[in-house]
Amino acid sequence: MSMVGEIIKAMILVTILIGLLGLLFKRSLLLRILSMDVMSTGIVSLFVFYAAHHGSRTPTVGSEDSASYADPVLQAVILTAIVIGFSIVALVLVSAMHIAKRYPTLEVDEIEGAPKEDS
């Protein structure tokens, strides 16, 4: 693998790690949700990166050398994961919006420490 490939891979792994650290250490719920999204973006890029392992050509029927094609299976599969990740983040944000009516700062400690009463 080329030097550039290694750098890109390292950057992707750093993205995943940043997402994970954000999940653990951020105080605000909104930032935690965003870190989850960062982490899933990292994983999606890792899929795309591995798909382009052997080459980055579009896999179409033709006379070219078949070895340099990007792997279509991984790319097809990750589309589904992108949609799922996006819809989950959307759902979580909607419910965070409802929670924000009661706890405008969205601090996790504040929400968890509050007595159980209904709005």
Partner 1 sequence: MILFLVFGPLAAGLCCLLFQRGLRTIPIFTYLVSMVMSLYVLASGRSMPFELLDSFGVKVLFDQAAAWFILLNALVSVAVAWHERYRGRHHYFFILLAFLHGCVNACFLSHDLFNLYVVIELTTITAFLLIGQGMTTRHLWNALRYIFLSNVGMLFFLLGTLLVYESSGGFSFEGVVQAPPTARAMIIAGLLVKGGVFLPGLWLPKAHAEADAAVSALLSGVVVNIGLLPLIRLEAFSPDILFIIQCMGIGGVFAGLILAFFQRDLKRLLACSTISQVSFVLLAPAVGPIYAFAHGIAKASLFLCAGSLPERDLILLREKKAPRPLALPMVLAALSIAGCPLLIGFAAKNQVGYAVSGWIEPLIIPASIGTAIILAPVILMPQRSASWKESPSWQSPVLLGAVLLISGLFFGTYSPGVWLKSLTVLAAGLLLHSFVFRRLIRIQLPGGWEKLEHVVGMICVALVFLILGVYLP
- How far apart are CB 114 and partner 1 at their closest, in Å? 8
Task: Tell which residue, 48, 94, 42, has the closest CA to residue 71.
Answer: 48
Residues of span 36-75 touching partner 1 by CB under 8 A? 36, 39-40, 43, 46-47, 50, 73-74
Q: Which two tokens stand for residue 58?
A: 């579009």
Nearest-angstrom CA–CA distance, 77 and 74: 5
- How far apart are CB 10 and partner 1 at their closest, in Å? 16
Task: Tell which residue, 55, 66, 47, 63, has the closest CA to residue 2.
Answer: 55
Of 60, 62, 95, 104, which one interacts with partner 1 (CB under 8 A)?
95
The angle formed by the CA atoms of residues 38, 56 and 52, to the nearest 5 degrees, is: 45
- How far apart are CB 7 and partner 1 at their closest, in Å? 19
* Helices of type H across the chain: 3-25, 29-51, 72-102, 108-113
77 binds partner 1 (CB under 8 A): yes
Of 14, 86, 99, 105, which one interacts with partner 1 (CB under 8 A)?
99
- Cα Rg of the chain (Å, integer): 20
Interface residues with partner 1 (CB under 8 A) are: 16, 20, 23-25, 29, 32-33, 36, 39-40, 43, 46-47, 50, 73-74, 77, 80-81, 84, 87-88, 91-92, 95-96, 98-99, 102-103, 108-109, 111-112, 116-119
